[in-house]
Amino acid sequence: MIRLKQIKININEDSIDNLKIKCSKKLHIKPSDINDLIIHEMSLDARRKPELYFVYTIDIKVNNEDNLLKKYGCNEIYKTPKEEYVFNVTGNKKLEHRPIIVGSGPAGLFCAYQLAEYGYKPIIIERGEDVDNRVKTVEEFFKTGNLKTNSNVQFGEGGAGTFSDGKLVSQVKDSSFRRKRVFDIFIECGADKKISYENKPHIGTDLLRNIIKNMRNKIISMGGEFHYNTCLTDIKVDNNHVTSIQVNNDTWIDTQVLIIAIGHSARDTFKMLYDKKISMQPKPFAVGVRILHPQEMINKNQYGLSSHDKLGAASYKLTFKSSNGRGVYSFCMCPGGYVVNASSEIGRLAINGMSNNARDTKCANSALIVTITPDDYGTNPLDGINYQKKLEESAYNIGNGMIPIQLYKDYKKNIVSTKLGSVEAIFKGKYTFSNVNDIFPEYINTSLKEAIEYFDTKIKGYSRDDAIVAGVESRTSSPVRIIRDENFESNILGLYPCGEGAGYAGGITSAAIDGIKIAEQVARIYTNR
């Protein structure tokens, strides 16, 4: 096949037929000479908004490819490279017991998928419920506020990403095509093929749930085994090698391979591992608020249009350095989404953003977060968790258990709001007017207010009086890194820290890639026979 780059087409003219015409002109052939056309990449060029263009990289199959490449080959026209993920089983050490994966978020699921596909028959333990029961539990929590501490927005099958936007954007370099493997598995399990080529792919929380179930069923069909409502409570080590684990404080399971993919909120598990002398270190993270604007306002700023049938709800990415030297940036921006109560502990409140695949609410929301380092909270590996807890306790207390919200004009004035403006409050979970300033130390409030004013120079209306500020966004990433060596093992042999919770990923795709890396390492050491 031949790869063609910089195929640019007005969004009003976008179609497969017009793509073929553009490709054929670039190669000086007829559109009918194209035997096959595959979209490799697609992005949006909005530099001349509201005149918008899709920019494609296309792979086409034609006759006489070698001759065409000799004539027209250049940095925009070249032979399609081989892009194939390869999983090699080279280990010869015998596994006496099945590998155990703790956690069924993206890191755990993709690690399990790879191991199951190659005959390792992993056991996956998950402290929360399967996704169907988890959804029921979470919806009940949104309505009543009755929290189930082991099954909620943070815990359960699919991990925290199950109640998110399902964004698949990642900055991970992909020379081994693990990202491609992740997307291929998602597509095999029901995701739209367009995630493989879109510049900012996403699935949406509503569709992600069925994809997770399909992944689980495929893993089971390949020999894997899932145990829900099953929490890791202890590990046993002999001669510096893990030999077994305890679950639910009563049952022991033998294993040589323990993959810890617990996510960023399993604070009790971090404490247990720390007490067991697993090497850890504190890690920088970020905390802040969610800010809500009309989606139509974001669309007009980003596209020059209120809407277009070829475009979804617009997103944005913003960064700023405050006068006190702290970085402030948008994070997990959810176009056409909801702000959700993402709490997992009694007496503490945390929030997150979530969108369905259609991204069709009237509200755009994003986290605005401020960088936090060990200088702010201490050098003990668990001090960052305690810092998060204090903010979450403050948020819970000022909102009396509900999500604290405030209009931006009142956040600046340090007074409690009394009514909403024209920005809709689109939340999952109860909310109440409070003074969000009271959640944070002053250096965070100052940084956020400076950033919001600056972001108004990038997106007109960003600092509007009736923008809604909500707190607290505290679970942006793990405040802990579980140290691992070049073989992905901790200081306890056979224990493999994995994914976002262990400090090695920052979202669905990077966590999934890290899970695949761990599976590869297991296959380097152990045989699957």
DSSP letters spanning 261-312? ---TT-HHHHHHHHHTT--EEE--EEEEEEEEEEHHHHHHHHHSSS--TT--
DSSP letter for 419, please.
S
For tokens 């510049």, name the residue: 199
309 CB burial (10 A radius; 0-12, 13-18, 19+): exposed
Domains, the chain, ranges and CATH? 2-79 (3.30.70.2700), 100-281+480-525 (3.50.50.60), 284-473 (no CATH)
- pTM given for the model: 0.96
Task: Give the model confidence (pLDDT) of 239-271 as tens digits.
Answer: 999 999 999 999 999 999 999 999 999 999 999
Q: 10 Å Cβ neighbour count for 35?
A: 10
The pLDDT tens digits along the chain (529 residues) read 999 999 999 999 999 999 999 999 999 999 999 999 999 999 999 999 999 999 999 999 999 999 999 999 999 999 999 999 999 999 999 999 999 999 999 999 999 999 999 999 999 999 999 999 999 999 999 999 999 999 999 999 999 999 988 899 887 778 899 999 999 999 999 999 999 999 999 999 999 999 999 999 999 999 999 999 999 999 999 999 999 999 999 999 999 999 999 999 999 999 999 999 999 999 999 999 999 999 999 999 999 999 999 999 999 999 999 999 999 999 999 999 999 999 999 999 999 999 999 999 999 999 999 999 999 999 999 999 999 999 999 999 999 999 999 999 999 999 999 999 999 999 999 999 999 999 999 999 999 999 999 999 999 999 999 999 999 999 999 999 999 999 999 999 999 999 999 999 999 999 999 999 999 999 999 998 7
Q: Find the angle CA(216)-CA(159)-CA(167) to the nearest 5 degrees.
A: 100
Q: Checking DSSP bridges between strand 123-125 and strand 225-227, what pairing results, if any?
A: parallel
